[in-house]
Amino acid sequence: MAEVSWDRLKASELRELAEAGAVVIIPVAATEQHGPHLPTMTDTRIGFELATRAAQKAYARRPTVVTPVVWSGLSEHHMAFGGTLTLRPSTFLAILDDLVSALLRHGFRDILISNSHGGNQIAIQQAAATLALETTARVVATTYINEAADEIAAILEDQAGIHHACEGETSMMLALEPGLVASDALAEAATPVVGKSTSVGKGSYRWRPFGSVTRNGTIGDPTRATAAKGEALLDTISDALAELIADPETWADA
Ligand SMILES: [Zn+2]
């Protein structure tokens, strides 16, 4: 299997990948509280795994390389729970701007910002739009929760999509880092899904802290999580991301 991790490759190998027109995935995630049962690495661990698997699956059709994860994102709404590191939106956008500029200087042009944290969704779209106007990069912004929504819904039993430290995220962490999941805390973590903290009216947005919809930092029922569901999620979500990467339409100019 091809090595797809940027930081495990040598500069000469990355120069060859640039010349071959490789896609670069920048995984963006978060380091933040994930309830009483999951570690703060959850979004970063899941995001890097999905990006790596997707790159390996797409590679034969389109060479792809994965940078190290941008491990802090927009997590201000989680700060009250502790354990959370966050960036200002302007800092987050500046990091993406600088990283894409560095990739362009090395000859890469097709860049997938692959996000695994709900709070980053609006910002990565803004980054993609700004970079499209100001550079020659073709930047695609994706959040796996949306790109693989149908596949996720087909696997989960208790919820239609990914929430927070929920059946879905806990399943994937049981598959990836079982020793870091506190199974004795799952029952106390379970929290009913009452909608997004940022939803008001019928379709309007207001920034609010996560504590407005959960007392313990979880949304969803992690007692419904299994490692088998987690492996199925990782497999099918990375398939969906690989299709996005390998589809010429994703990178077409017109
Ligand atoms: Zn998460």
Rg, C-alpha atoms of the chain: 18
> How many whole angstroms from 123 Cα to the centroid of ligand 1?
16
- DSSP calls for 148-191: THHHHHHH-SS-SS--BSSHHHHHHHHHH-GGG--GGGHHHH-B
Residue 127 lies inside a defined structural domain of this protein: yes
> How many whole angstroms from 42 Cα to the centroid of ligand 1?
6
* Dihedral pair phi/psi, residue 28, rounded to 5°: -120, 140
> How many whole angstroms from 22 Cα to the centroid of ligand 1?
29
Residue 210 lies inside a defined structural domain of this protein: no
Residue 198 lies inside a defined structural domain of this protein: no
- 75 pLDDT more than 80: yes
Instruction: Please report which helix (H) or strand (E) contains residue 110, including its range.
Output: strand 110-115
76 exposure class (CB count in 10 Å sphere: 0-12, 13-18, 19+) = middle
- 254 pLDDT more than 80: no
pLDDT tens sequence across 37-63: 999 999 999 999 999 999 999 999 999
Q: What is the C-alpha to C-alpha distance for residues 127 and 134, in angstroms, rounded to an integer?
A: 10
> How many whole angstroms from 217 Cα to the centroid of ligand 1?
10
Tell me the three state secondary structure of residue 1: coil
Query: How many separate domains does the chain show?
Result: 1
> How many whole angstroms from 165 Cα to the centroid of ligand 1?
6
Structure tokens at 235: 């497999």
Taking the CB of residue 177, how many other CB atoms lie within 10 A of it?
A: 16
Residue 218 lies inside a defined structural domain of this protein: no
pLDDT tens sequence across 78-105: 999 999 999 999 999 999 999 999 999 9
Residue 184 lies inside a defined structural domain of this protein: no
Residue 203 lies inside a defined structural domain of this protein: no
Residue 125 lies inside a defined structural domain of this protein: yes
> How many whole angstroms from 248 Cα to the centroid of ligand 1?
30
Per DSSP bridges, beta strands 199-200 and 64-66 are unpaired
> How many whole angstroms from 119 Cα to the centroid of ligand 1?
9
- Please report, for the domain that includes residue 62, its CATH number: 3.40.50.10310
Residue closest to 29 by CA, chosen among 65, 73, 85, 78: 73
pLDDT tens sequence across 181-208: 999 999 999 998 887 888 899 999 999 9
> How many whole angstroms from 111 Cα to the centroid of ligand 1?
23
Per DSSP bridges, beta strands 204-205 and 199-200 are antiparallel
Residue 58 lies inside a defined structural domain of this protein: yes
Residue closest to 35 by CA, chosen among 153, 211, 194, 236: 211
> How many whole angstroms from 54 Cα to the centroid of ligand 1?
19
Q: Domain range holding 22?
A: 6-156+230-251
Q: Are 124 and 112 within 8 A, CB to CB?
A: no
